[in-house]
Structure 1
């Protein structure tokens, strides 16, 4: 296996950790900003919308750019977004910082997977993508609980500082390790979106939307549900996120094996 894939996975781990750990920070953010927890939850909604809508547009605009250059710039903006979140003086600034992080995260994810494919031969493409995406899975099981643990010690701002540091480390390693000259293919936005209309795809997307809506509606508000609703201590939040992450890993592995054995 090309060891450069591990560093791409580290980038995925860093970005996904920020995306998942925010749920444990909502009560503290709401308290500091003097707003309600549901309003603080718009930090998650804005991130998700910016990620979903911005990624195909940015991927189209940067399709012919050097992929090393794109990856490094996405990490630069991701780090700056985390620093801005940590230093934000208002909820509005924090919201803008999360949108910046979402746009950079989405473009990183798309570009990292394309770069992984370009680094290996045709027979190992699926495995290369699995390694990079594996960083996200590890973030769910390990990164988010660790980020929540940092918040119990250093506050929610400390978590953003820690993620910014990890993002800078990933960027420095990838700057050193990734080769120049890997150029992607520029696909029109219409062609990218056309894939969603292929036979069978809309129903799969709808099923995925409904399933993840149910899961992440609960996950997004796991902190107030656990603390206010369940009477647990804030120190229990890392354990709650760990339980969710372990379940996600088990489900991911079991789902893949079941699909191979019984069919999708």
Structure 2
């Protein structure tokens, strides 16, 4: 891997770890700042909503801007927002700072993908783009357990301070390794983008990913209160649970990539979605048997973690193949869809938690997964019919 590509991966990993890194310490944030856990979960929601809204706009509006400048400016803003978040005593101010950090991540996202495409050899464009995408999605699998451990040992404010330090390291990596000739491209024709990205297979694939992320990330956002209710898990047990899910997610992501290469993205997605639904059913069953030891929950969490991130490589490969030269824009749009799903998950999960308790989260996640499966099946069938007519 070229050093500059490793730096792009590190930057994408740091940007998007910042979203979910606090999921494991939401109870502590809520208690310290005097808000409910459902309200604290909206710290994740506002980050995701901001990314979802800003990333596709930035992909077009800032297409001509030098990408090195965009990335450096975004990381500087990111570091400042996290450093300020580490010291604020106000929940309202913390929400505003989360929006600022998310805007920096959203502006950087199209530049990260486009730089990978621009600098990659012609035969390796897909793999180089996948490396950047792995930083975005892998951050959720790995960043959460790391943040949970840091928060459990040093306090939740240390999580934001750590993210600021990581942002400085990522900035240094880009300044040292990224070629200076990373200019922007002429602004892409918006009509061509709409024609390509608005086709039914692409649209339904994006919606399927959004629904899948809504269900999976709803559970991840409120996994801490769920574990407390089901197994009486303290922060150390929650850190172990998030860590196991993160390791399983990383392995699942590589497994999903291998299955995508071997059998195609559609079949890989069907397998992954089925496993997500099955693991959610298992968590619902454990809820009905509560209280249970944490050791009974961990195997189900491992399956869920692996299945949830199994789907990411298949989604990326499917969209890149369908979008052709507009792959960077499609992947930026997919990032928006992913984080819109994350934000919906945080919002719906918070409402569900407040009204019906954490036991209602697994069946709602199953419903979202079934909807994603239906959308994916429709998208695949439409793509086959379109190909047959050519």
TM-score (norm 1): 0.92
Output the CA distance in 2 between the equivalents of 1:109 and 1:229. 37
Show the counterpart of 2:243. 242
Output the CA distance in 2 between the equivalents of 1:84 and 1:190. 41
Show the counterpart of 2:159. 159
Residues 55 and 193 of structure 1: is their aligned pair in 2 closer, same or farther, counting only changes over 3 Å?
farther
Show the counterpart of 2:208. 207
Q: How does 1:125-140 map to 2 (within 5 A)?
A: 125-140=125-140
Check whether the contact 2:142–2:250 (CA below 8 A) recurs between aligned residues: no
Show the counterpart of 2:25. 25
Instruction: Return the offset for 1:61.
Output: 2.4
Listed one character per residue, the Cα deviations across residues 168-208 of structure 1 (whole Å, up to 9, x for unaligned) are: 11102211221223122223666555544113122212221
Check whether the contact 1:56–1:192 (CA below 8 A) recurs between aligned residues: no
Listed one character per residue, the Cα deviations across residues 132-166 of structure 1 (whole Å, up to 9, x for unaligned) are: 22333543343321221111121111010011001
TM-score (norm 2): 0.64
Output the CA distance in 2 between the equivalents of 1:220 and 1:172. 31
Show the counterpart of 1:67. 67
Residues 56 and 191 of structure 1: is their aligned pair in 2 closer, same or farther, counting only changes over 3 Å?
farther
| Long gaps (5+) in structure 1 | none
Q: Quick check: 189-198 or 161-170, which moved more?
A: 189-198
Find the residue that maps to 1:200 and give its secondary structure: helix
Q: How does 1:1-264 map to 2 (within 5 A)?
A: 1-185=1-185, 186-187=187-188, 192=193, 194-263=195-264, 264=266
Output the CA distance in 2 between the equivalents of 1:159 and 1:258. 35
Which protein has the larger Cα radius of gyration, Structure 1 or Structure 2?
Answer: 2
RMSD: 1.9
Output the CA distance in 2 between the equivalents of 1:227 and 1:195. 46
Check whether the contact 2:20–2:44 (CA below 8 A) recurs between aligned residues: no
Find the residue that maps to 2:219 and give its secondary structure: helix
Find the residue that maps to 1:87 and give its secondary structure: coil
Output the CA distance in 2 between the equivalents of 1:229 and 1:191. 51
Q: Quick check: 192-201 or 173-182, which moved more?
A: 192-201
Output the CA distance in 2 between the equivalents of 1:157 and 1:195. 44
| Long gaps (5+) in structure 2 | 267-390
Check whether the contact 1:9–1:134 (CA below 8 A) recurs between aligned residues: yes
Check whether the contact 1:65–1:183 (CA below 8 A) recurs between aligned residues: yes
Output the CA distance in 2 between the equivalents of 1:192 and 1:247. 36
